[in-house]
Structure 1
């Protein structure tokens, strides 16, 4: 014992020192100003328009070799690429303003959808007896015929294999959803997608889920037909997917495959995620992909939406050692959303005068701020937004202001400039920890001429949201086992 005790103590002290450096680092901002590369941003604007308008033969993913080995759910880890939605759904746009307006329209719908979902959770008992109850006689599911073409939940997608033998499909990822699903034959009504629609009869690993199963019981809305569990997922704009709950084998490229993943086999799907085949739910609910795979963590790195490069989605990956971390929690009313311990912002190294309680989640399930990969522009409580915006404006008197655009009320004419220095915007997390955002994560182009706008927006609804514009180019890690979230710069 005498020979091992000193080594144990040294190891323990080293471990504590390392964890302390990771968890409590950066209690001051690293910079007060950040460079904005105007030229590079406008080059990306041109490139994305060329791709969308068919002036480039860029293809996001080629067919990938599937690794024929099963992943052990207790120890597996894997990574697969992510792209922004425009590279899959190549809708032509006459100019960048047209593209941006389409994004902002989707974004508003997305935010409304999350707000609606939260309000439903807060009034769950009322919803069960309300008019949007979808169970009908005979154990069938029906849904309102409302167009969902404006639904904006699918901002990033990946490519995975479904079934045995595996067929590869483009799938949207979504931290604001729990149920995984894919469009299935026979289709009652399916929207257009890039790949052939999945045919469960061609897969030897397809199994329908019984009505008495744990997975069926975990659905928010379900019914039973011939001992098959039927499901429906509806979204805030009236879009929906309806079908049979199944278990299938999912293949993750060169990482291997996982068997018996519960997901919806959607036979009637209205307006969602045009071009993609379905959705991978990364939320905190029991049917989400991380929860089903018993993942201890997952992380992603979201590339600039104007970039033709890819980021990655990783499961069971460690928190990068240089991450700034804070608390990760869920509401008592819904497990889906990931609430984080944010206390405020700094601009140019100076804390903005915002009450810490502004971002707290109360016991009733209201308030708080979530991290969401499907929302683009971060939404802040009105007074918090004004305080942040005014602090930024006060330190940009050297820049030429120009008229507002859409939901952005703070814009600048940077035409003719190659690089400018702007005040650094930083998150402040519990414990006074700072995380500095790169300038391109809060000052974004809105046209091809050099107009850039401050990319935050006000909201009078819960929840507040950290969107993907503020997350782009960084590794965001959801450490589920330790209830922490980490932010690390330039980890794509």
Structure 2
């Protein structure tokens, strides 16, 4: 049995802030076909309980841009501190998915940032010594009959990259994660039943997660923690290995105000339904790096129209010719030297008068008042193993009335392939085969 689910787009480039309503425990691998379904509702759509009607489409865009730059600082704090090996790689407020799940027995609803750049899932728990404000009640593990604290002798505790504290006679495993902006979470490493599904409630038993009792920083009140979809051993995806074969895929609709207001949908799939195939599909190997959470790809060049620009330059945190694909970052960040060459080629291809971004976020902008007369080029990302053609919706964004900007940015820090570049592609991750696949898809028709 296989499953597929819908993703409704965000009201803005925050397309990836989503509420996960279904995750279904699958049959065993002996079953001919297994799959996992996720039904996702965007945080900023009008039907969301967290929708803020006072914000415009462009307000939400600029919020996403700001988070992209915070995300760079997050990667810097993780990758530049190899000796600390902080496992939870997500900057509070930087995630682009919000998942709605239930944990405990009886089931208790929690919200968490879901991100391909994070491993261990955690949520705020009672009793709370210090907690950030959240809009929904906190999980109380004392009211759950299936909650269990893990000891320092457990294999899960030993899988933590950062050494835990071992507390009390029972030797309870206590984790502590810190973030580049000073935010932090501390709590008991635990296991619990995650109840998932809408019509058919299905339990996922013995899922390892963090029950946070001390949490503070720049977390948002619309969330209560995070769900990790990274490549590490303790990630949610890795724990579902027997059910889904460590495969998942998503299809993200273009982030325009019209698609959001019309509730146009895409999808996210797990297991057999995550297969990405067809004549237009390309597959590129994942590069194994430490920490294993992040998904590294080899980027050989970018073409602007027919002009191929070989990758050159490097960032301080990511090896040359490699780029992290990240669902939690809106923009695409390139090494400065490489970005400068790409920008020059774009300027030549567009051949229009440049405009200034009043917010000083983007270096390359154009007045959009000319409408259809503004001809934007197709870019091609040349990955090891295949080429991904990027339409203007992947590389340009309307940041204000009458202003369109190039959505790639130069950086000295971490090279990141952001979520704007992934829109209207079925993007599939196969952690067993160590590959990522792309297939051009009209995600509004999924």
For the criterion TM > 0.5, the same-fold answer is yes
Partner of residue 343, structure 1: 300
Match of 1:324 among 282, 286, 297: 282
Structure 2 contact 284–383 (Cα < 8 Å) conserved: yes
C-alpha separation in 2, matches of 1:486 and 1:66: 22
Match in the other structure for 1:4: none
2:61: which partner in 1? 100
Equivalent runs, 1:58-69 vs 2, <5 Å: none
| 1:275 correspondence with 2:222 | yes
Q: How many residues align?
A: 407
In the other structure, the counterpart of 1:171 is 112
Unpaired segments ≥5 residues, structure 2:
1-8
Distance 2:416 2:30 in 1: 32
Is 1:426 the counterpart of 2:399 in the alignment? no
1:415 aligns to 2:363 (yes or no): no
Q: Is residue 2:314 matched to residue 1:370?
A: no
CA contact (8 A) 1:349 1:424 kept: no
Return the offset for 1:74. Answer: 7.5
Cross-structure match for 1:437: 390
1-structure distance, mates of 2:376, 2:320: 34
CA RMSD in angstroms, aligned pairs only: 3.2
Distance (Å, rounded) in 1 between the aligned partners of 2:432 and 2:343: 36
Per-residue CA shift, 1:341-382, capped at 9, x if unaligned? 221111113312434x859998xx677211011111111001
Does structure 2 retain, via aligned residues, the 8 Å contact 1:93–1:99?
no
Offset, 1:158: 2.5
Q: TM-score, normalised to structure 1's length?
A: 0.74
Following the alignment from structure 2 to structure 1, what is the Cα–Cα distance between the partners of residues 315 and 439?
A: 21
Choose 1 or 2 for highest CA Rg.
1
Deviation string for 1:15-42 (max 9, x for gaps)?
xxxxxxxxxxxxxxxxxxxxxxxxxxxx
- The within-5 A match list for 1:189-228 is 189-219=130-160, 220-226=162-168, 227-228=171-172
**What are the ranges of 5 or more consecutive residues in structure 1 without an aligned counterpart?**
1-43, 52-59, 133-147
Secondary structure in 2 aligned to 1:422? coil
CA contact (8 A) 2:299 2:311 kept: no
Distance in 1, Cα, partners of 2:264 & 2:227:
21
CA contact (8 A) 1:233 1:240 kept: yes
Q: For 1:401, which of 333, 354, 365 is the aligned residue? A: 354
Given the superposition, is the C-alpha separation of residues 85 and 393 from structure 1 closer, same or farther in structure 2, using an over 3 Å criterion?
A: farther
Separation in structure 1 between the aligned mates of residue 308 and residue 275 of structure 2, nearest angstrom: 30
- CA distance, structure 1, for counterparts of residue 232 and residue 26 of structure 2: 24
The residue aligned with 1:292 is 239
Q: Which has the higher helix share?
A: 1
Displacement of 1:81 after TM fit? 2.9
